[in-house]
A and B are shown apart, each in its own frame.
Chain A
């Protein structure tokens, strides 16, 4: 398990499919400065919307439902029993499949959806050997298999890379012909000192290059030989067609068809394949398929008794070899497995999300739509450095700092909603986000950053944020404890989250269910006014919203999206004497900004990651 703390984001593929959505009603959150044109056909947010209601109320109360005794009337209709069902349960077995760190998630600009490794499709761009870093053409991969055909071999004993050394080393006198050492050569493991001379019979190579060719002659097992014999036989049979059947898919289909044809031909000869236009192949079977003699157990036992247990392979060594040898002296060097560079497509819309450059040694991408650039990322830190992540004290109020970082070029307003008690467990922890609604400044570029650092007072994020909620923020910050953000910098804002874990007995049952693992589901809702860029506004810098908000000349629209994430805070420890159960919170900050549970997310809102309120 990953170390604490961690934050995983739930990919929407967790929710009910189909997830194809009304793409028309949404426009991408484009962090790039040049969004495509089809994004702009929407009217700006109309006044009579729930969004507007929300922004009006925001200065006074967060629109989140409060403690049950302290109901906010406005949210009454949202606070029904079925809310429970909408809470994301990190303990649900299905959740595990959709939770990923944000770094592993992609973002489809066309579906406006987070895409996890489960909902993308990989396509191989190129094959290469991870050791010599040479590209291997796919035709070679088809004919010679997915291992390096050059000189890269791994030690069968310890998996380190083998080096070629001359068997006769003592040619070290500097003046001599040691520039070109003479053979024979060994493959030598510089980690465990295994050499190909340890094999029985020992293998020595004549040349220090083209090792694969030399080794393949020397290390063939009976099974390999039989396979090559059969392959040659059938390749010969197919020779009339002038094709190597392993190379062309059509030929392979024909070969497969040959056998299905044989199956059906018992009734009517070759009748099943007439319409295919494939010429019927007359295939002569191998006259005498030789059975490769299996190792005899008694022989093995005898050999073991003689050589001792130390001469036998361990499971790892055995499984990495094609014929699972039982004795170390039978282990042959393993050629390095090839690796691939892959592009990734969205499974829903087939658009490419990731496309690496095809050159093996570059790490650049032609296309790279990663969620990190589209959705705000959360991080969590301890406020009190004495908190031990792996040993949280029951009944004690632990305070953490939750930081939301905005990757977008527009300021966003964020609502963090969390069930008051962690769901899915009999031992629920109490969770309070002290300030669940706040602003996060725009991700301005480095230039603005540099300017800001010179005059920090003048340009604070709240100053440049969209007008209505920025005002509300100012009113919040009067009370340092209640509903106030802890820290606000250029494009991130930190709020305090309080967690009171319960006392969890250490029983077999709780261990099996891992009840002491403390994971907090948080529903993140993001709203921002995105500018509807026009062509003539291209490159309006990181902050086009300035003029737009006041002038009204530029079209703007409200964009909203949301997702669940799970914060792995740590593990609850044994109870500590003196720390006893108390009232939920210190009286001062009791109810304010404490969501009882996440608001009901209507299906329409849940399925698409984001939608435009219009």
Chain B
């Protein structure tokens, strides 16, 4: 698909484009076999502020295995005021998560086998469960919960269809990893 030199391969098989922007890489965990394409931006620097001292192992973004971050997408931990303290909170992506071109993800948790289309906006602190497809251009409102086996569309996104039992097979990304 693309020339090998575009990607830096890590020990665990992650392939990270040289043209991507990874900020705060010490706060980012990639599970392995994840692909990060050009112009992606991952904001690992927006980590959780711990009130007193102990800044131990602050993970801002955890990404599972076989994820695919398409060109120009952005992962950004969500932020809110909780108990009078404003802070960013960690974001977790499961396995086989596809993020389409130009999408902005500020979710709290994204499960496994999730396909996010092009130019979507996943609002702050939203929770997306396993086996979900989000159609192109969807805006998920902040704090939403998307249950499993859903197809979501709209402005703000609502569940428009139930996915069949084969959703995990349909949304798995092993082949996509091999193609890069």
Contact = CB atoms under 8 A, between A and B. Distances in A.
Contact of A130 (B84, B131, B145, B164): B145
A159 B84 contact: no
B144 interface: yes
Given A159-B156, A161-B141, A190-B141, A103 B129 contact: no
B147 A160 contact: no
24 contacts: A103-B167, A106-B165, A128-B147, A130-B146, A131-B147, A133-B129, A158-B141, A159-B158, A160-B141, A160-B144, A161-B143, A161-B144, A172-B84, A173-B84, A175-B84, A176-B84, A189-B141, A190-B143, A339-B147, A356-B165, A363-B130, A363-B168, A372-B166, A372-B169
Interface of A: 103-104, 106, 128, 130-133, 158-161, 163, 172-176, 178-179, 189-191, 339, 354, 356, 361, 363, 365, 368, 370, 372
B66 interface: no
Closest 7 CB pairs of A and B: A160-B141, A174-B84, A130-B147, A191-B141, A103-B166, A178-B84, A160-B156
Interface in B130-159: 130-131, 141-150, 154, 156, 158-159
Among A104, A190, A354, A372: residue with most chain B CB under 10 A: A190
B144 A370 contact: no
Given A106-B165, A163-B143, 16 more contacts: A103-B164, A104-B164, A130-B145, A130-B147, A131-B147, A160-B141, A160-B142, A161-B144, A161-B145, A172-B81, A174-B85, A176-B84, A178-B84, A191-B142, A363-B129, A372-B166
A179 B82 CA distance: 8
Among B156, B159, B168: residue with most chain A CB under 10 A: B156
A158 B156 contact: yes
B170 interface: yes
B143 A179 contact: no
A164 B151 CA distance: 27
Interface of B: 81, 83-85, 123, 129-131, 141-150, 154, 156, 158-159, 164-170
A563 B146 CA distance: 36
Nearest to A367: B165
Contact of B83 (A103, A178, A191, A365): A178
Contacts of A103: 164, 166-167, 169-170
B165 A370 contact: yes
A361 B129 CA distance: 8
A131 B159 CA distance: 11
Contacts of A189: 141
Contacts of A173: 84
Given A178-B84, A179-B83, A363-B149, A370 B141 contact: no
Nearest to B113: A363
A604 B147 CA distance: 44
Contacts of B83: 178-179
A133 B141 CA distance: 18
Nearest to B150: A130
B165 to A, nearest CB: 5
Contacts of A339: 147
A236 B131 CA distance: 47
Contacts of B81: 172
B169 A363 contact: no
Contact of A363 (B85, B123, B131): B131
A176 B84 CA distance: 8
Among A132, A158, A178, A191: residue with most chain B CB under 10 A: A191
Contacts of A176: 84
Given A161-B141, A191-B156, A354 B165 contact: yes
Contacts of A130: 145-147, 150, 159
Nearest to A104: B164
Contacts of B123: 190-191
A131 B145 contact: yes
A190 B146 CA distance: 16
Contacts of A133: 129, 145, 147
A538 B146 CA distance: 42
A365 B6 CA distance: 40
A128 B164 CA distance: 18
A599 to B, nearest CB: 31
A4 to B, nearest CB: 16
Contact of B166 (A158, A160, A191, A370): A370
Contacts of B154: 159
A372 B167 CA distance: 11
Nearest to B126: A161
Contacts of B156: 158-160, 191
A128 B147 CA distance: 10
B37 to A, nearest CB: 19
Nearest to B159: A130
